[in-house]
Amino acid sequence: MEGPSLVIAQEEFEPFLGRKIQAVTGVKAEELKWLKGKSVTQTSAWGKHFLILIGDRVLRIHFLMFGSYRINSVRENREPKLHLKIAGGDDLYFYSCAIKEIDGPIEQIYDWGVDIMSPSWSEKRVLKLVLDRPEEQIADILMDQNIFAGSGNIIKNEVLYRLHLHPEALVRDLSPEQQRSLVRETREYGHQFYEWKKAGKLKANWLIFRKRVCPRCDLPVIKQPTGKLQRFSHYCENCQFMGDLASKKLRKRGRVAAVVAAKVQKKTRSSEKSLKH
């Protein structure tokens, strides 16, 4: 689950705030039985962390790749990690997720300036963090939760495709404009993701992720692990480039090579000339 989905979760949990927890069951019930009789004060989200505040205690839920939650419906043949029975007859279920109590207050442990979904998101701060890592591949940068909290593999691939950037391009090979648009577009796409997901149209709007051919040029999509993280990248070799500075360098190298070739040619010609004499 990526960041935008957690914002939706947070909205869906609002009706249960301040209502008494009548019963706690599920795999983690024993260690979480202290929840009984209490009520959720607030929920929050930072990146992919779903935070449940109960007074001054904080539960952190991470859905990882396969986690899910249900409100007033159960998943068949599955035991929830946690099931909260709420006064008034509502039920909250958490499946296949990592639940951990953490030490608050959350404002001191989380920096919302890097959360792509937060109103406190700071372009300046994020750009600085990106520029601090000139040698890294941008595919790795977009998965780094300390820089783009909430961004995941879908967001990574879609953003890079939209910007015509190759996943293996290095931060330092991007022009300053490209570096800035990388930062802006990731947040922008996160919000787009949120709207599409709420409308049930997320998959319909994927351009490159899990696609067979490039929607722009019809060539086959490359799918291979990239960077130090070795997560799969989906990209088009024809439409995504290594960055403006990288291509400038290549062009320059090309020009230098051409000049050298011309010199060699000239030299050869003149030595041929002197041989004739």
Partner DNA sequence: GAAAATGTTATCAT
Partner DNA sequence: TATGATAACATTTT
Sites of contact with DNA (CB under 7 A): 1-2, 5, 47-48, 62, 64-66, 75, 78, 95-96, 98, 143, 145, 152-154, 209-210, 223, 225, 228, 231-232
Whole-angstrom Cα distance, residue 251 to residue 17? Answer: 60
Strands (E), 36-192: 42-46, 49-54, 57-62, 68-71, 82-86, 90-95, 98-102
Could you tell me the smallest distance in angstroms from the CB atom of residue 26 to DNA?
11
Could you tell me the smallest distance in angstroms from the CB atom of residue 248 to DNA?
29
Nearer to DNA among residue 65 and residue 275 (C-beta): 65
Nearer to DNA among residue 70 and residue 180 (C-beta): 70
Using a 10 angstrom Cβ sphere, with 0-12 exposed, 13-18 middle and 19 or more buried, the burial of residue 49 is buried
Nearer to DNA among residue 54 and residue 109 (C-beta): 109
Beta bridge partners of 85: 23, 91
Could you tell me the smallest distance in angstroms from the CB atom of residue 114 to DNA?
12
Could you tell me the smallest distance in angstroms from the CB atom of residue 76 to DNA?
9
Could you tell me the smallest distance in angstroms from the CB atom of residue 254 to DNA?
33
Closest by Cα among 86, 172, 106 to 135: 172
Nearer to DNA among residue 203 and residue 255 (C-beta): 203
Whole-angstrom Cα distance, residue 245 to residue 260? Answer: 22
Whole-angstrom Cα distance, residue 75 to residue 67? Answer: 12
Could you tell me the smallest distance in angstroms from the CB atom of residue 95 to DNA?
5
Could you tell me the smallest distance in angstroms from the CB atom of residue 181 to DNA?
21
Whole-angstrom Cα distance, residue 184 to residue 199? Answer: 23
Whole-angstrom Cα distance, residue 132 to residue 127? Answer: 9
Nearer to DNA among residue 125 and residue 231 (C-beta): 231
Beta bridge partners of 93: 70, 83
Could you tell me the smallest distance in angstroms from the CB atom of residue 64 to DNA?
4
Strand bridging mode 82-86 / 21-25: antiparallel
Nearer to DNA among residue 16 and residue 93 (C-beta): 93
Nearer to DNA among residue 4 and residue 243 (C-beta): 4
**What are the distances in angstroms from CA 48 to CA 16, 132, 134, 135, 203?**
21, 23, 25, 26, 19
Nearer to DNA among residue 20 and residue 210 (C-beta): 210
Whole-angstrom Cα distance, residue 125 to residue 119? Answer: 14
